[in-house]
Amino acid sequence: MARRTQSALYSEIDLELSWSEEALPQVQRTKHVHSLHPYLGKYVPQLVEVFLKRYFRPGDLIYDPFVGSGTTLVEANVFGAVGVGCDISAFNCLLTRVKTARYSLGELELALRGALESARRATSDVPEPASEWLETWYAPQALRELLAYRSAAFALPEPHTDVAKVILARSARSARRTTHFDLDFPRRPTTAPYYCHKHKRTCRPVEEAAKFLKRYTDDTIRRIRAFAPLRTDCDVVVLHDDSRGVGLPGEVDGVITSPPYPGLIDYHEQHRYAYELLGLVDRRVEEIGSATAGRGRSALGEYVGSMSAVFTNARRQLAADGHVLIVVNDSHDLYPRILSNAGLGLEDRITRHVNRRTGRRAGEYFEDVLVCCARPSLA
């Protein structure tokens, strides 16, 4: 069967929810703070923009029970809505707080550049003890530089220290002993030269971190400055909690979220370097749908039960006329049961085309936008 052209495909769908690479280039998908740190499984901010304009009004309270990298909360703030997000991952909460906080830009830049210089001067000092995992995944020089920067970052006042922690995490991700083409899911440290599929030549494992610390300090300052004039005075609340039972700080006007898929990503392990360096609380055993759990019948049953609890809890705190928008590729057809269990009615199911920009996966990819409303429970 001949593959349909993108033009033919896009003539059949809602163009407000699907974009070609030409219509939505990477620079727009990763605008300002949305790309402060790499994150697997996030949706594009333009999707949230459309949802907010279609279904909500400035001043509403928008909730995301899987805040992830903070896309919903950033766009809700720009829209003029109160944003509340919850996540079991301490790193996700840190990243979202950093993206949405208000800063004195001059003071922030001065603090971050000061931390960079302090770390540079301290790199030759005897490093503090590091975990076995860190010593395995980083060359000695890179680890010394990361630990020196960590000391400088921890000495900064709030909220500057949180920004420095994100810079440290991003640098640590790039400085690992892994191949250039496998930064997302490295399986084992790479310590010898290798043929690089990304650069089409022989490459060597990274041995330093200082260049990344400098690069990402500059990039972070630039991105936060770009977001500053767009940020509104609306409150942003980030809760490090379990969304199956968390209490929210007010009645919710709407939910916009992209839940984790069953058996696909271990969200704590994705950012293991951050947990190791920053000493974050690790609650991976509470993750819903983790890759470790797999996709067997039992795992899918647990996923349905957990997701039902999440959306039941959200519905209980949802305004009578509120909407719940869920972006999901429901390949296992689990969401009819989840919505029924949660007492949510399905108003619309919009299929959108997701452009495979990397070219690493064959075939077309689609996901659904489930537009739901609260309705009386049948129980």
pLDDT of the chain along its 379 residues, tens only? 344 555 555 555 666 787 777 888 888 888 999 999 999 988 999 999 999 999 999 999 999 999 999 999 999 999 999 999 999 999 999 999 999 999 999 999 999 999 999 999 987 776 677 899 999 999 999 999 999 999 999 999 999 999 999 999 999 999 999 988 778 788 889 888 888 888 888 988 899 999 999 999 999 999 999 999 999 999 999 999 999 999 999 999 999 999 999 999 899 999 999 999 999 999 999 999 999 999 999 999 999 999 999 999 999 999 999 999 999 999 999 999 999 999 999 999 998 877 654 444 445 678 899 999 987 544 3
The answer to whether the beta carbons of residues 182 and 246 sit under 8 Å apart is no
Q: Is the peptide bond before 159 cis (omega within 30 degrees of 0)?
A: yes
Predicted model pTM: 0.92
Domains of the chain as residue ranges with CATH: 6-89+235-272+286-374 (3.40.50.150), 105-227 (no CATH)
What is the chain's length?
A: 379
The helix (run of H) or strand (run of E) holding residue 201 is strand 201-203
**Closest CA relative to residue 154, chosen from 18, 323, 279:** 279
Cα angle 223-226-232, degrees, rounded to a multiple of 5 = 115
Name the DSSP letter for residue 352.
E
* Residue 247 buriedness (CB in 10 A; 0-12 / 13-18 / 19+): exposed
Distance of CA 210 to the CA centre of its chain: 25
Structure-derived torsion over alpha carbons of residues 248, 251, 254, 258, reported in degrees to the nearest 10: 10
